[in-house]
């Protein structure tokens, strides 16, 4: 992707494969916004159940949670959040992977705090990455996914190594 950007080949293909927000239009946001708003509210409402679910299936069941129903609802909400987002901006994978880890560091492991805090944190990360993507190769725009990959890959290598040390 980097070589494709450097030599200005397949710009549209690169933006679809790496993501970007430069081509999003108001007409598209008007269609996606109601779906995203409902899914965001639903994710906040279900956050307590997700915290219980994070204790494990057996513990959640013993606390009276309907585990399969909750997992299905989480999957549906995730699809409602991811679908319009990817349709608008393309597959910017690391924003969804980095944000919860960053937020968890500051607010702890309770999803009633993590989910609402991820919303502005993810937005701030997107704006920052968009700014960086516009400055790297000005006047052209570098795909945001590439900027997130530069940040995300080292962070996940760190988290993987930290996780291995914690289990040894």
Which has more confidence, 79 or 12? 79
Same domain, 16 and 95: yes
| Domain boundary residue, one of 89, 120, 141 | 89
Q: Which two tokens stand for residue 47?
A: 């956050």
Same domain, 103 and 139: yes
pLDDT band (50, 70, 90) for residue 56:
very high
| Domain boundary residue, one of 73, 89, 105 | 89
Same domain, 81 and 96: no
Q: Which residue has the tokens 């513990």?
A: 59
Same domain, 1 and 38: no
| Domain boundary residue, one of 65, 89, 113 | 89
Answer whether the bond into residue 139 is a cis peptide, omega within 30°.
yes
Same domain, 124 and 154: yes
Domains: count for the chain: 2
Same domain, 62 and 109: no
| Alpha carbons 157 and 168: distance in angstroms, whole number | 17
What mean pLDDT comes out for the span 92-114? 88
Same domain, 2 and 37: no
Q: Which residues 6+ apart lie within 8 Å of 65 measured at CB?
A: 49, 52, 53
Whether residue 80 has pLDDT greater than 80: yes
Cβ-in-10-Å burial (0-12, 13-18, 19+) of 35 comes to middle
pLDDT computed for residue 168 by the predictor: 46
pLDDT band (50, 70, 90) for residue 14:
low
| Alpha carbons 108 and 106: distance in angstroms, whole number | 6
| Alpha carbons 37 and 31: distance in angstroms, whole number | 11
Same domain, 64 and 114: no
pLDDT band (50, 70, 90) for residue 71:
very high
Query: Model's pTM, two decimal places?
Result: 0.76
User: Which residues constitute the domain of residue 64?
Assistant: 23-89
pLDDT band (50, 70, 90) for residue 9:
low
pLDDT band (50, 70, 90) for residue 81:
very high
pLDDT computed for residue 167 by the predictor: 46
Q: Which two tokens stand for residue 25?
A: 């239009």
Same domain, 96 and 124: yes
DSSP letter (8 states) at residue 138: T
């Amino acid at each position: 992707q980097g070589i494709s950007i450097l030599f200005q080949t397949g710009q549209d293909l690169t933006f679809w494969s790496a993501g970007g927000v430069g081509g999003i239009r108001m007409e598209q946001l008007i269609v996606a916004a109601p779906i995203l708003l409902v899914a965001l509210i639903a994710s906040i409402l279900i956050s307590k159940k997700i915290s219980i679910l994070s204790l494990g299936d057996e513990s959640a069941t013993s606390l009276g949670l309907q585990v399969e129903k909750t997992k299905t609802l989480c999957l549906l909400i995730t699809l409602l959040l991811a679908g319009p987002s990817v349709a608008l901006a393309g597959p910017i994978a690391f924003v969804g992977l980095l944000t919860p880890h960053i937020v968890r560091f500051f607010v702890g492991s309770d999803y009633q705090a993590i989910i609402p805090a991820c919303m502005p944190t993810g937005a701030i990360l997107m704006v920052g990455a968009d700014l960086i993507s516009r400055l790297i190769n000005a006047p052209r725009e570098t795909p945001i996914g590439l900027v997130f990959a530069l940040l995300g890959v080292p962070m996940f290598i760190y988290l993987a190594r930290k996780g291995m040390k914690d289990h040894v």
